[in-house]
Amino acid sequence: LLVSKMGGVCCCVQVDQSTVAMKEQFGKFNEVLEPGCHCLPWCFGFQISGSLSLRVQQIDVRCETKTKDNVFVTVVASIQYRALANKAADAFYKLSNTREQIQAYVFDVIRASVPRLELDAAFEQKNDIAKAVEDELEKAMSAYGYEIVQTLIVDIEPDAQVKRAMNEINAAARLRVAANEKAEAEKILQIKRAEGEAESKYLSGLGIARQRQAIVDGLRDSVLAFSENVPGTSAKDVMDMVLITQYFDTMKEIGSTSKSSAVFIPHGPGAVRDIASQIRDGLLQ
């Protein structure tokens, strides 16, 4: 409320926008002055007892309470309210401290609502708590000329140790899921590796079988062709000659390779027949 410099002489007062003033006569309420310039003849006992803002105001209330599972939390509520122009006199004269009155109602509702909820449910039902606070405030403050514009539960703060424990529980759960996923991945890798080894051994067996079949077929064809082209030779004579040839090829290979391991076998002329006999008997057995 601004009073002009000429107010003492002209008895004029100025009321700012979004503000109303309480006009009294000899200490008794007379009327509500709207924004603008008003004549106030002080000689007849008229005076301005005070002003009231019609703007939306906000109060932040921090309320400590506990949940159903005995966890102490601090609930932060933001209350947006304003005085009603048509009930400005009630708002000005009926309450001596509006903020404390609102804070008392917020404490009452929060401490009645949160203890019925567990901690997780309190976080999930913030809107329900805010609605309960708003309904109670609207019902109580409307009788005093105030309107509750909005009620918000902006934060629920558990104790630091509780938050640390919650984070550890969450981390442990995530680690457990990660361990299960890792074990499942290793299981799949082992299965795939085993399947690959089985397939590899199967194909290797097929290759060895085909190789041996090809060797046998080649030897058979060679023996038959040699027997037909050289009269008087038997299949046994041809096999002995093949085995001796392979023996000398082996000796040559061992001697020409510097990194080969030394192999000691009989190599005298008289031992050739014995070697052939041993190789032949070993293969036939």
Per-residue pLDDT tens over the stretch 79-109: 999 999 888 988 898 888 888 888 998 998 9
In a domain, residue 277? The reply is no
In a domain, residue 195? The reply is yes
pLDDT the model gives residue 60: 92
Residues 185 and 144 in one domain: no
In a domain, residue 1? The reply is no
Look up the CATH number of the domain holding residue 116.
Answer: 3.30.479.30
SS3 285: coil
Q: In what order do the strands lie in the sheet with 28-33?
A: 28-33, 19-25, 46-53
Please give the residue range of the domain that contains residue 45.
Answer: 12-53
Split at pLDDT 50, 70, 90, the class of 5 is very low
Sort 181 into a burial class: Cβ within 10 Å, 0-12 / 13-18 / 19+.
exposed
In a domain, residue 94? The reply is yes
| pTM of this structure | 0.54
Split at pLDDT 50, 70, 90, the class of 7 is very low
Q: What is the DSSP letter of 229?
A: H
Residues 174 and 154 in one domain: no
Report the chain's mean pLDDT, rounded to a whole number: 81
Q: How far is CA 103 from each of CA 2, 10, 37, 112, 154, rounded to the nearest angstrom?
A: 30, 43, 36, 14, 15
Report residue 112 as tokens: 């009645």
Residues 30 and 123 in one domain: no
Q: Model confidence over 147-170: pLDDT tens digits?
A: 999 999 988 888 777 777 777 887
pLDDT greater than 80 at residue 73: yes
Q: Where are the alpha helices (DSSP H) in the chain?
A: 7-10, 88-93, 98-113, 119-124, 126-141, 160-229, 235-256, 271-284
Per the listing, tokens 């509780």 go with: 162
Residues 22 and 98 in one domain: no
Residues 178 and 127 in one domain: no
Split at pLDDT 50, 70, 90, the class of 6 is very low
In a domain, residue 258? The reply is no
pLDDT the model gives residue 20: 92
Q: Model confidence over 223-275: pLDDT tens digits?
A: 777 777 767 667 677 777 777 777 777 777 777 766 666 555 655 656 666 76
pLDDT greater than 70 at residue 195: yes
For residue 81, the surrounding DSSP H or E stretch is: strand 72-83
Q: Which of 158, 186, 220 is the last residue of a domain?
A: 158
Residues 10-21 have a mean pLDDT of 84
pLDDT the model gives residue 164: 79
Distance CA 191, CA 172 (A): 28
What total of structural domains would you count in the chain?
Answer: 3
Residues 137 and 187 in one domain: no
Q: What are phi and psi of 30, to 5 degrees?
A: -115, -55
pLDDT the model gives residue 280: 63
In a domain, residue 282? The reply is no
Residues 74 and 137 in one domain: yes
In a domain, residue 263? The reply is no
Q: Which residues pair with 70 in a beta bridge?
A: none
What percentage of the chain reaches a pLDDT higher than 70? Answer: 84
Q: Which of 158, 189, 224 is the last residue of a domain?
A: 158
Which tops the pLDDT comparison, 285 or 35? 35
Distance CA 81, CA 56 (A): 5
Residues 169 and 121 in one domain: no
Q: How far is CA 13 from each of CA 31, 44, 174, 190, rounded to the nearest angstrom?
A: 14, 15, 69, 91
Instruction: Tell me how far the alpha carbon of residue 168 is from its chain's centroid.
Output: 14
Q: What is the DSSP letter of 158?
A: E
pLDDT greater than 60 at residue 283: no
In a domain, residue 257? The reply is no
Report residue 127 as tokens: 């809107």
pLDDT the model gives residue 1: 45
Q: Which residues pair with 60 in a beta bridge?
A: 78
Q: Which of 158, 184, 215 is the last residue of a domain?
A: 158
CB-based contacts of 148: which residues, under 8 Å, 6+ apart? 79, 80, 81, 134, 137, 138, 141
